Every structure is written in structure tokens, then in C-alpha cells.
Amino acid sequence: MQTLGTENDFFSAVYEVVRLIPTGRVSTYGAIARYLGTARSSRMVGWAMNNSHDCFPPVPAHRVVNRNGMLSGKAHFGSSGEMQRLLEAEGVKVENDKVLEFQQRFWDPASELAL
DNA sequence: ACTTTGACTATAA
DNA sequence: GTTATAGCCAAAG
């Protein structure tokens, strides 16, 4: 599935939103799911990320963390600390698998894109 | 077609 | 404050 952009699949919708996350910012599964109208499908967002490897353009999944700001999906990246390394490379400080100043770094599509 | 799972979240103790 | 449990939806086995 190449998801050419005209896809209306749940996965594709997630991919688009995640790609909209600015560099140096992070978002949560719940926020994305809620923006898509499926607030209670936060788990599906993560699942979509799992398939994100088949999606193009690549999805910056490292910018998506759980509501607690913890890198819940870091284990799914190639190497240990890969996710954290990417975040730090974008200016997002991470410590103990948790985003520092998460609330400050948090990017909510429902708020940022709603204007 | 049914069961299990999963990168979550909210609530209860 | 943390830890345990339940609810949730959609896809994979």
C-alpha cells in the first residue's frame, strides 16, 4: 500500500497528521486520534505507526509519544535509543525515555490546525 | 468468522 | 504521589 495521498484509510489519515508535526515538536496518540475524530482509537494510531514503514513519505514516528511524554514506541525503532537520538537531533531533550518539557513541546493538531 | 493483540487513555484503589 | 484494572477500536492470526 503506497498511500498516494488520496487514501482515506485510517492509517493514511494518521500518517498525514504525524507528518504535519513540526520539527522539534511532539504529539500524542490521543491528540492525533481525537483530531481524526476517533478519540478512543488512540491504540490504532500506534498500530498505524507500526505499518508506517510501508507508508511513503516516511512518518516521523519519533515525534509521537504517549500522553505521558514517554517514548513508548522507542522499542519499535531499529536500535535502542534510536527514537531518542532522533528527537535530540531535532532539539527535543529526552531523559529516562521521557520528553523533557513535554507540555511545552506538545503539539496538538486539534489546536494548532484548528485555526 | 472468532480470538488475540496492541507504539493508549482514563479511572479506581 | 504511584500502581492496578477496565474500556476502547481496528487489524492480524
Contact A64, A73 (CB under 8 A): yes
pLDDT tier at A9 (50, 70, 90 boundaries)? confident
Asked if pLDDT for residue A1 goes beyond 80, the answer is no
Asked if pLDDT for residue A61 goes beyond 70, the answer is yes
List the domain boundaries for chain A.
10-112
Q: Is A48 exposed, middle or buried (0-12, 13-18, 19+ CB in 10 A)?
A: buried
pLDDT tier at A15 (50, 70, 90 boundaries)? very high
- Closest C-alpha to A101, from A65, A61, A72: A65
Within 7 Å of a protein beta carbon, the nucleotides of strand B are: 6-10
pLDDT tier at A7 (50, 70, 90 boundaries)? low
Residues with CB under 7 A from strand B: A 28-31, 42-47, 49-50, 52, 61-62, 64, 66-68, 72-73, 75-77, 83
In CATH terms, A10-112 corresponds, of 3.30.930.10, 1.10.260.40, 1.10.10.10, 3.40.30.10, to 1.10.10.10
Cα separation, A6 vs A84, in Å, equals 32
Contact A102, A26 (CB under 8 A): yes
Shortest-distance nucleotide from A70 CA to C1': B7
Cα separation, A8 vs A94, in Å, equals 34
Q: How long is the CA A54 to C1' B7 vector, in angstroms?
A: 16
pTM over 0.75? The answer is yes
* Range A14-29 average pLDDT: 95
How does pLDDT run across A63-95, given as a tens digit for each residue?
A: 999 999 999 999 999 888 899 999 999 999 999
Within 7 Å of a protein beta carbon, the nucleotides of strand C are: 7-12
Cα separation, A11 vs A47, in Å, equals 8
